[in-house]
Amino acid sequence: MTRIFVPRDAAAIAVGADAVAAALAEALPGATIIRNGSRGLAWLEPMVEVETDRGRIAYGPVSVADVAGLVAAGLLCGQAHPLCHGLTEEIPFLKRQTRLTFARCGITDPLSLADYCAHGGYRGLERAIGLGPDDTIEELVKSGLRGRGGAGFPTGVKWRTVQQAVGPRKYVVCNADEGDSGTFADRMIMEGDPFVVIEGMTIAGVATGATKGYLYIRSEYPHAIATMNAAITLARGAGYLGADVAGRGAAFDIEVRVGAGAYVCGEETALLESIEGRRGMVRAKPPLPAHKGLFGCPTVINNVISLASVPAILGKGAEFYRNFGLGRSRGTMPVQLAGNIRQGGLFEAAFGMTLGALVEEIGGGTATGRPVRAVQVGGPLGAYFPPALFDTPFDYEAFAARDGLIGHGGIVVFDDTVDMANQARFAMEFCAIESCGKCTPCRIGSTRGVEVIDRIRRGEGREKNLALIDELCTTMKLGSLCALGGFTPYPVLSAIRHFREDFGVAEQETT
């Protein structure tokens, strides 16, 4: 029976994948429809694939109205059609990638454990159990993996700290509170390959001696929550979670916790507070979560992509992984191309591609066809870059050297209609809305920041107020407890530095 793939990814569903799947099922009762993860070619969603003896053939973007025509043209045999893109693997956007973390995403049935294992799943856990905790952690340190949530802290070092810490219990917490605009890698992997997240958390548990894992997913991701819950139940049923993981004597289980719409809970200590049932208020550090984390116990807290990269690292070896990338940025990064971009989606590649190559060559420039004016890299707390800085290589240090950050790997593209003073104002406004309120620079500074930018936009004391915003940003940067207040200056100051002309216009609308 011919197999047809229609993604169950939330982005595909948002543009009609469920209706397309239903229409295909009705038109082709003989075919088997598999709801896979997304391949990450967002502009082609809903992207339908047909399995043929030549390989999988892609069609997209497919709407319900296209189904009859596609079937008549010979969809089942992968025949030509205006929506046909040929072999999926040969599409340049996909062919140019190095998929390690997302190796299975879009290829397998996300909720088939048999599929997962047939495509290399659980080899990492098997090897970790064979190596034992010390060597597993050593392997991770050697791989050079750094936290993909944004902070870039070496994952292996964090695990070693937890392994050596003493406590009545230890926890693994997976941070799936992916609130940064322009990022969706966590969502895609949870919906498209949930077992890899489970395997990564399990390896963390086995390596550090933690027996309980919490997966904290934001409430804005209902499909990811449902998929992860279903996958956890399947893994438990097959003995991959529970009192005796994979029959090898270690106990580890995972519980999903759902956030409640607070951006700041993506900050690790606020997230721990939230799991404990309190307001998501940031904790002062030290103590580090590795020493005193969830419920006061030693806790590994990692981003989804960090944990989802672990099985591939253990499975293929640290050397293999660290051979990708450059400098201190080793391995691959799932870059997310978003906003006003012609070919948006997920592009996993070794560190080192330039920002310009990602935006112009891979992304194909703007969706509106107008010139690119600015790109924001790393979410709402990341800097705005003008095309003049498009030679910056995608690498933690290179971005830091240019007063930016790669964050969680999101790139949001804006065309030349953007008002950068408005974007700077939004950064302050967002900080004011989402501040947990614990520290003054963030709580008060963000509100004062909105007011000062409004004055600049109205043309009141422009030079004086630009100096004031600079001073305010320094206070926020140095005086805030966490990255929300501490990094909001990045978008604000970069907008002022690179797009100064947008701050000089008098009599501008302020709302």
Partner 1 sequence: MGEYLVWSVDAAADIIARHAGGQGPLLPLLHDIQASFGHIPQEAIPQIALALNLSRAEVHGVVTFYHDFHEAPEGRHVLKLCRAEACQAMGGERLAGLARDRLDLDWGGTTPDGAVTLEPIYCLGLCACGPAAMVDGELVGRLDPVRLDQIIAGLRAP
Binding region for partner 1 (CB under 8 A): 10-11, 13-15, 42-43, 45, 178-184, 186-187, 219-223, 257-263, 274-280, 295, 336-341, 344-346, 367, 376, 380, 410, 412-415, 418, 423, 426, 430, 433-434, 436
> Edge-to-edge, what's the strand order for the sheet holding 253-258?
253-258, 212-217, 171-176, 299-303
* Closer of 11 and 421 to partner 1 (Cβ): 11
* Closer of 16 and 120 to partner 1 (Cβ): 16
Question: Position 213: which residue type?
Answer: G
CB of 412 to partner 1, least distance (A): 5
* Closer of 147 and 259 to partner 1 (Cβ): 259
CB of 344 to partner 1, least distance (A): 3
The total number of residues shown for the chain amounts to: 511
Closest CA relative to residue 21, chosen from 76, 82, 62: 62
Q: E-assigned strands of 64-218? A: 84-87, 171-176, 212-217
Q: Any idea what DSSP says for residue 359?
A: I
CB of 339 to partner 1, least distance (A): 3
Q: Can you list the alpha helix ranges (DSSP code H) found in 238-324? A: 268-275, 304-316, 318-322
CB of 15 to partner 1, least distance (A): 5
**Burial, 19: exposed, middle or buried (Cβ in 10 Å; 0-12, 13-18, 19+)?**
middle
Q: At what angle do helices 462-479 and 489-498 cross, to 10 degrees?
A: 150
Show the CA angle centred on residue 340, arms to residues 335 and 346, nearest 5°: 20
* Closer of 266 and 325 to partner 1 (Cβ): 266
CB of 430 to partner 1, least distance (A): 7
The contacts of residue 41 (CB under 8 Å, 6+ apart) are 47, 58, 60, 91, 93, 94, 343, 345
CB of 78 to partner 1, least distance (A): 25
Residue 374 pairs in a beta bridge with 414
* Closer of 241 and 427 to partner 1 (Cβ): 427
The contacts of residue 252 (CB under 8 Å, 6+ apart) are 172, 201, 202, 205, 206, 210, 211, 212, 213, 241, 242, 245
CB of 120 to partner 1, least distance (A): 26
Q: Any idea what DSSP says for residue 125?
A: H
Residue 55 pairs in a beta bridge with 52
* Closer of 280 and 404 to partner 1 (Cβ): 280
CB of 131 to partner 1, least distance (A): 31
* Closer of 315 and 363 to partner 1 (Cβ): 363
CB of 257 to partner 1, least distance (A): 7
Q: Can you list the alpha helix ranges (DSSP code H) found in 279-412? A: 304-316, 318-322, 355-356, 396-401
CB of 181 to partner 1, least distance (A): 3
Quick one: the chain helix, strand, coil %, rounded to 5? Answer: 45, 15, 35
* Closer of 110 and 325 to partner 1 (Cβ): 110
* Closer of 122 and 490 to partner 1 (Cβ): 490
For the CA atoms of the chain, what is the radius of gyration? 23
* Closer of 63 and 79 to partner 1 (Cβ): 63
Q: Can you list the alpha helix ranges (DSSP code H) found in 301-384? A: 304-316, 318-322, 355-356
Task: Identify the residue whose tokens are 């010979």.
Answer: 74
Pairing verdict, β 48-52 and 32-34? unpaired
Q: Any idea what DSSP says for residue 284?
A: P
CB of 53 to partner 1, least distance (A): 32
**Burial, 504: exposed, middle or buried (Cβ in 10 Å; 0-12, 13-18, 19+)?**
middle
* Closer of 144 and 409 to partner 1 (Cβ): 409
CB of 510 to partner 1, least distance (A): 14
Task: Identify the residue whose tokens are 């292996």.
Answer: 156
Q: Are 310 and 159 in contact (CB under 8 A)?
A: no
* Closer of 214 and 396 to partner 1 (Cβ): 214
Closest CA relative to residue 355, chosen from 337, 328, 330, 332: 337
CB of 157 to partner 1, least distance (A): 27
* Closer of 60 and 156 to partner 1 (Cβ): 60
Residue 334 pairs in a beta bridge with 348
